[in-house]
């Protein structure tokens, strides 16, 4: 049985905000299963309250659509990247705000690639426990462990903030010094660097 996120409409034309799932975890190196993330988040969204006392907004006042999952080829990272990139470009051309649900963190790379062709100066803000800044991992360049570094190849390190990072290699630590911001905590984050900027937020749940 399928579920829609917070009882969203399935009509892509209805929503200014579009939710799409990318059930892919073929480069997972410890334990697979994140491909079930889109289904699980939709299923459990039935138990979420829709009002934010912090923003004084109820999500049901927004127009949002859930267009389901993109059917991806398990094990084929290059084709997966291409399909996610093309789908993101399609949604951006429709002027949609996109919420993409993985899946492993590697799905972020083709999304950022598509965004970089539409928005010139957006800032990527990453919440993660791991740096994901390896040049390659287990011989795979487009591994989940390399995704932020791959994104930096597109938008440069000076447009990436990483928060919550507690685990990295020496290689990643050295590379992180080039970032716009890199920290294991959000407490001292200078939010002024995001002022008047378009922001892409990536949350990797470990």
Domains of the chain: 1-104 (3.40.800.10), 119-206 (no CATH)
- 71-105 pLDDT, tens digit per residue, is 999 889 999 999 999 999 999 999 999 999 998 99
Token pair in block for residue 91: 């949604």
User: Which among 120, 130, 205 has a CA at the least distance from the CA of 172?
Assistant: 130
Mean pLDDT of 149-166: 97
Distance CA 113, CA 91 (A): 13
Phi, psi for residue 157 in degrees, rounded to 5: -65, -25
- 9-31 pLDDT, tens digit per residue, is 999 999 999 999 999 888 787 76
Q: Model pTM greater than 0.95?
A: no
Contact 78, 110 (CB under 8 A): no
- 191-205 pLDDT, tens digit per residue, is 999 999 999 999 998
Classify each residue of 40-52 as buried b or exposed e, where b means 16 or more C-beta atoms within 10 Å of its C-beta.
ebbeebeeeeeee
Distance CA 159, CA 126 (A): 11
Cβ neighbours around 60 below 10 Å, total: 12
Distance CA 43, CA 198 (A): 30
């Amino acid at each position: 049985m399928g579920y829609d996120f917070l009882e969203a409409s399935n009509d892509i034309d209805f929503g200014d905000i579009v939710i799409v799932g990318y059930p892919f975890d073929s480069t997972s190196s410890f334990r697979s299963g994140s491909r079930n993330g889109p289904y699980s988040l939709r299923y459990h969204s039935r138990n979420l309250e829709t009002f934010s006392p912090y923003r004084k907004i109820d999500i049901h006042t927004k127009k949002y659509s859930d267009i389901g999952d993109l059917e991806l080829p398990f094990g084929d990272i290059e084709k997966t990247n291409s399909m996610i990139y093309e789908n993101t470009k399609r949604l951006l051309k429709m002027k949609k705000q996109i919420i993409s649900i993985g899946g492993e963190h590697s799905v972020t790379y083709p999304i950022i690639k598509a965004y970089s062709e539409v928005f010139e100066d957006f800032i990527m803000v990453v919440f993660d426990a791991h740096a994901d800044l390896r040049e390659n991992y287990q011989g795979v360049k487009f591994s989940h462990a390399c995704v932020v570094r791959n994104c930096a190849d597109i938008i440069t390190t000076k447009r990436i903030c990483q928060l919550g990072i507690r685990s990295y290699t020496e290689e990643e630590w050295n590379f992180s010094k080039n970032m716009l911001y890199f920290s294991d905590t959000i407490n001292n984050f200078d939010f002024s660097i995001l002022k008047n900027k378009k922001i892409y937020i990536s949350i990797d749940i470990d």
